[in-house]
Chain A
Amino acid sequence: MPRKNRWTIYHTQREVSFNHWFRQNGTKEMVAALAVLLLLLLGNILVALNKDALQNKDTRNQPPTNIFLQWLLMKPSLEIVEVTQGEVSGIDFYGTPGASLLYPKAAQETRPRPRRRPSFTAVAGKGYTFNAVLKDFPDVRYALVRAPEGMGVSPTGQLSWTPKAEQAGIYKISLDVLPFAGTGHRLSWEVSVSEKPHALGTDQSGRDILACLILGTQWTLLPGLIAVLISIPLSLLFGGMAGYYGGMIETFLSHGITLFSAMPSLVLIFLTGAIFNFNIYAMMAVLGVVLFPRNALQIKNKVLSLKENQFIEAARELGMSDRRILLKDILWHNARTPVLSFCFQIMAFAILIEVTLSYLNLGIKEPDVSWGKMIFDHRSMIQEQKLWPLFFPAVTIFLSVAAFYLLADGLNKRNKIRGV
């Protein structure tokens, strides 16, 4: 039973090329992460430039324009309602007994394009034609039951409409399918009209979701920076001194480290939030304090391992003061590499904390927008099956957190640091 061979090739050829640089440890991750970070930075700049324009409001709860996104993120509001002697029982889009699935075709402007499901969005000022087509029953007649103003329907089921700017909102369209005498079948679906096209839809107060995502980027970089600015000097100070001096200071400091790592971080942040009335900047500062023990421990280990080296002896022989040795030789030259990856891990954690706090309604408040707050506002939308205001912030949160962690990991792999 010959198995397929999996060959590995070892060779002496050095590749001095883009390929070689790219394949070096950790580069792929760093490049991907940097791409995402560039986007975040771009978002921040956009926010800084025209914050007000991003907060315009339009129709509420409009789904995204793309058909695929609509299929993914909402329960399609296309129903066939069977009217039997006054009693209305709803038959869902999936699994209609008797008639087969309906495929009303919607077309935009003059070029008809067959689609499997109707697009539920329309932009004021553009012309739309909708064709209702029953799959196995091509020759049926339709009669309009309910439609917004200005919509005309032909008996073969073609509707045409050019919504006016004042007509922004959600409308329900109903058509009666005539030949099924006795028990009439009624087709109805919703169309949502907005003044401007919204690629990702709008949220429940009418803001464009893309604009909300961009507005949310301002809370990704800045709070993390604050946490980093507090955490890194603290950990360098404590870790460096604990590693270098040893003795009483070291025991004292490592107990302090255990103290901070035993207290649940979120609880501390809650308490501090309660003190400062949940100001996000204060909470980020506390986050910096809460996170410094772990990094201080790493730095202490690194300093301890470096202390054994001969060059410390040599420096002391030359008469350099303790502080100079610590600062220059140890910290700057040698302990510098893990510190950068700490920075990024702290920033990732800062985004997580901000999201968590906003989700618990303790973070960013109106009228500011952040990704966590979007999830908080729309958490009841799960029941109503309108998932787009939840999905996109979730994706962006995941991407930015993953980007920071990947950056930190890529740096570690590059410098071959283990076990962070």
Chain B
Amino acid sequence: MDTNGKTPILHVQDLKTYYFKEHELIRCVDGISFEVMPGGRMGIAGESGSGKTQTVLSIMGLNESTPGMISGEIHINGNRITDGLQNLSRVEERDGHIFVTKDVAAWQRIYERNIKPHRGKTLSMVFQEPRSSLSPYFTIREQLEETLSSLLNGSRLNGGFEQLVMPLFERLKFRNSKQILSAYPHQLSGGESQRIMLALALLGEPQLLIADEPTTQLDALTQFHVVNLFDSILREKQLSLLFISHNLALVAHLVDTVCIMYRGRIVEKGPAKALITSGSGSAHPYTRELLNVFNGGRGQNRNGGYISNAGASSKGCRYQHRCDLKRRLDPGLGRRCENESPSLDKISKDHWVACWHKER
């Protein structure tokens, strides 16, 4: 946990979030572990449905409890958030059926109690759809005041609206601040709303900013501006970042380390520049598939882009049905992929891969 003697801001270990939909088990997040150091930037990349959003929602305690997060250890600045939750849920398998037992009410209560001091203050979050993430009933100014007053109740420094908010506002480079303050969220454009969300997130002076695909809904030019804004603000205030996106180029631009997720598991973890920008750095076939598509390749995958949940407890590597590498291997070697699920193995300093045939 304490590498280099520093405490990570966020340390997640073996997080599992399951959902049941019409008696089908969906393992949204199936054993994720990572950590974000102070000043560091971590990215999570993968296609839609790989569980990226659910990971951060589980950490923040904002997801639905059917059953939701069932196990895992989460530490924020060394504080154990999952304290008291050990015996509240268990997973069993009987006759080929999976049974998840969880005391939903107690879990919710305890987790809320544990994470509440950190939400908004140590960790804060920026969401994917900025316009619908702002409440449509109040003006921007009223919403900023609202967030400010709920933060000040935790006995922070005193100050009026002007002193605390306006500098932040100026920093975010709005074209006409007065008009925006008295406007309603539905009157703003996408880029403006996203910057308001950023302002709301930064009001509490957090240590870690979690950004869940903040630029996916924006057009290319606005994306560029917003990303640069993110970068400069983060640098200026020395904030850590947890950035989620399916756009690998963006991820490479912004973060130091990246985790590639596929169907709820991390398949590769390593330095972003090496993995993404220089194509030979990636070792997992999935990463290579993603990069192929992004770099304009034709994507020779036969079952490309199709995530299925067929069979809740299928053996072996989860990626085997789409794996280009496995198709090219001899059946004898491929059998290992079918029978055993690979674990994350370290292949060099800061680089982990989960594949049996990573050397190829």
Report B74-112 CB contacts with A as 1/0, cut-off 8 Å: 000000000000001000000001111111111000000
Stretch at the interface among A9-17, A84-92, A119-127, A129-137: A9-17
Number of interface residues of B (CB under 8 A): 19
Report B162-183 CB contacts with A as 1/0, cut-off 8 Å: 0000000000000000000000
Q: Tell me whether B106 and A10 are in contact (CB under 8 A).
A: no
Q: Tell me whether A6 and B103 are in contact (CB under 8 A).
A: yes
Q: Answer whether A7 and B97 are a contact pair too, CB < 8 Å, given A12-B20, A12-B24, A12-B312.
A: no
Chain A residues positioned under 8 Å from B100 (CB to CB): 9-11
Q: Tell me whether B23 and A9 are in contact (CB under 8 A).
A: no
Q: Tell me whether A7 and B23 are in contact (CB under 8 A).
A: no
Considering only residues 240-256 of chain A, those with a C-beta below 8 Å from chain B are: none
Q: Tell me whether A14 and B67 are in contact (CB under 8 A).
A: no
Chain A residues positioned under 8 Å from B88 (CB to CB): 5
Chain A residues positioned under 8 Å from B102 (CB to CB): 7-8, 10
Q: How far is the CB of A392 from chain B (nearest CB, A)?
A: 43
Q: How far is the CB of A14 from chain B (nearest CB, A)?
A: 5
For the residues of B in contact with A, the DSSP-based class is strand
With beta carbons under 8 angstroms apart, the residue of A7, A12, A14 that contacts B98 is: A12
Q: B25: CB under 8 A from chain A?
A: yes
Q: How far is the CB of B91 from chain A (nearest CB, A)?
A: 10
Residue of A nearest to B95 (CB): A13
Q: A333: CB under 8 A from chain B?
A: no
Residue of A nearest to B24 (CB): A12
Chain A residues positioned under 8 Å from B98 (CB to CB): 11-12
Q: Answer whether A8 and B23 are a contact pair too, CB < 8 Å, given A3-B106, A13-B97.
A: no
Q: B292: CB under 8 A from chain A?
A: no
Residue of A nearest to B25 (CB): A12
Q: Tell me whether B23 and A12 are in contact (CB under 8 A).
A: yes
Give the CA-CA distance A6 to B101 in the complex, in Å.
10
Report B242-283 CB contacts with A as 1/0, cut-off 8 Å: 000000000000000000000000000000000000000000
Report B292-324 CB contacts with A as 1/0, cut-off 8 Å: 000000000000000000001000000000000
Q: B187: CB under 8 A from chain A?
A: no
Q: Tell me whether B24 and A7 are in contact (CB under 8 A).
A: no
Chain A residues positioned under 8 Å from B312 (CB to CB): 12
Report A179-221 CB contacts with B as 1/0, cut-off 8 Å: 0000000000000000000000000000000000000000000
Q: B66: CB under 8 A from chain A?
A: yes
Q: Tell me whether B20 and A8 are in contact (CB under 8 A).
A: no
Q: Answer whether A8 and B67 are a contact pair too, CB < 8 Å, given A13-B97, A14-B23.
A: yes
Q: Tell me whether A10 and B103 are in contact (CB under 8 A).
A: no
Q: How far is the CB of B86 from chain A (nearest CB, A)?
A: 13
Report A7-47 CB contacts with B as 1/0, cut-off 8 Å: 11111111000000000000000000000000000000000
With beta carbons under 8 angstroms apart, the residue of B97, B101, B103, B106 that contacts A12 is: B97
Q: Tell me whether B104 and A9 are in contact (CB under 8 A).
A: no
Q: Tell me whether A10 and B97 are in contact (CB under 8 A).
A: no
Q: Tell me whether A13 and B103 are in contact (CB under 8 A).
A: no
Q: Answer whether A5 and B103 are a contact pair too, CB < 8 Å, given A10-B67, A11-B97, A12-B97.
A: yes
Give the CA-CA distance A5 to B105 in the complex, in Å.
9
Q: How far is the CB of A229 from chain B (nearest CB, A)?
A: 39
Chain A residues positioned under 8 Å from B97 (CB to CB): 11-13
Q: Tell me whether B105 and A10 are in contact (CB under 8 A).
A: no
With beta carbons under 8 angstroms apart, the residue of A3, A6, A10 that contacts B99 is: A10
Give the CA-CA distance A3 to B84 in the complex, in Å.
13
Report A45-71 CB contacts with B as 1/0, cut-off 8 Å: 000000000000000000000000000
Chain B residues positioned under 8 Å from A3 (CB to CB): 106
Chain B residues positioned under 8 Å from A9 (CB to CB): 99-101
Give the CA-CA distance A11 to B22 in the complex, in Å.
9
Q: How far is the CB of B29 from chain A (nearest CB, A)?
A: 16
Q: How far is the CB of B69 from chain A (nearest CB, A)?
A: 13
Residue of A nearest to B109 (CB): A3
Q: Tell me whether A8 and B103 are in contact (CB under 8 A).
A: yes
Considering only residues 1-42 of chain B, those with a C-beta below 8 Å from chain A are: 18, 20, 23-25
Chain A residues positioned under 8 Å from B106 (CB to CB): 3, 5-6
Residue of A nearest to B66 (CB): A10
Q: How far is the CB of B21 from chain A (nearest CB, A)?
A: 10
Known: A3-B106, A8-B67, A11-B23. 17 other contacts (CB 8 A): A5-B106, A6-B103, A6-B104, A6-B106, A7-B101, A7-B103, A8-B101, A8-B102, A8-B104, A9-B101, A10-B100, A11-B20, A11-B97, A11-B98, A12-B23, A12-B24, A12-B97
- Selected A-B contacts with CB under 8 Å, 14 pairs: A3-B106, A5-B88, A6-B103, A6-B105, A10-B18, A10-B66, A11-B20, A11-B97, A11-B98, A12-B25, A12-B97, A12-B312, A13-B23, A13-B97
* B residues adjacent to A (C-beta < 8 A): 18, 20, 23-25, 66-67, 88, 97-106, 312
| Interface pairs A-B: 5 shortest CB-CB | A10-B20, A13-B97, A5-B103, A11-B99, A10-B100
